[in-house]
Copies of this chain bind each other. A is one copy, B any other.
């Protein structure tokens, strides 16, 4: 069966991307990064491939982790689920396989709603979210697909839906961040961990 053999092959492949960049074995990483990777194993059950892919260069890996953790886990008016919802809507507009698999799972998991992640992946307009969240997702979609047009009118729509200027920064920054990672992942053909697919489906 080809799919099975494909999965097995991925497991032994050195890099999760199509680029030939030598990735260090985890034991050769500096202690703090090794510890961070071990923590991922413990909390998530595996090391997300994006971190593995970035490990060819410590500086880049640290910069990525710092920005990601601030935006997705730091203080914000947005709940963590809302930030993941933005991640999926942006990645859907850009059709980024890696980010849709990883963050689609996060939305399914955090929301406890197996259909919500699918809706955001497929067409966020069908999702029954609050008006406030819908405004947030429409803004993220618009800023992704027609960035030159997301000006004062778009900000006013967010304010009208109840978002503060501080939240607008975060919505814009998270939207921007996934417009970055989507492009890096697609340009390098980064493949997500197979474990995401079966999770949070019921």
A116 within 8 Å of B (CB atoms): yes
A32 within 8 Å of B (CB atoms): no
Q: Contact string, A78-95, partner B, CB cutoff 8 A, digits 1/0?
A: 000000000000001011
A118 within 8 Å of B (CB atoms): yes
Smallest CB separation, A25 vs chain B (Å): 19
Q: Do B176 and A181 touch (CB < 8 A)?
A: yes
Expressed in whole angstroms, the Cα–Cα distance for A141 and B189 within the complex equals 18
A149 within 8 Å of B (CB atoms): yes
Q: Do B112 and A3 touch (CB < 8 A)?
A: yes
Expressed in whole angstroms, the Cα–Cα distance for A192 and B21 within the complex equals 37
Which A141-173 residues have a C-beta within 8 angstroms of B? 143-144, 147-152, 154-155, 165-166, 168-169, 171-173
Which A101-132 residues have a C-beta within 8 angstroms of B? 101, 111-116, 118-119, 121-123, 125-126, 128
Task: Contacts A4-B112, A180-B180 known; list 9 others, CB within 8 Å.
Answer: A6-B115, A63-B66, A97-B118, A115-B194, A123-B148, A144-B183, A151-B189, A176-B180, A176-B187
* CB pairs A–B below 8 angstroms (23 shown): A4-B113, A6-B113, A7-B115, A21-B165, A21-B166, A62-B66, A64-B67, A95-B147, A96-B122, A96-B147, A97-B126, A101-B122, A115-B194, A115-B197, A123-B148, A123-B186, A154-B187, A175-B183, A176-B179, A179-B179, A179-B183, A180-B180, A197-B201
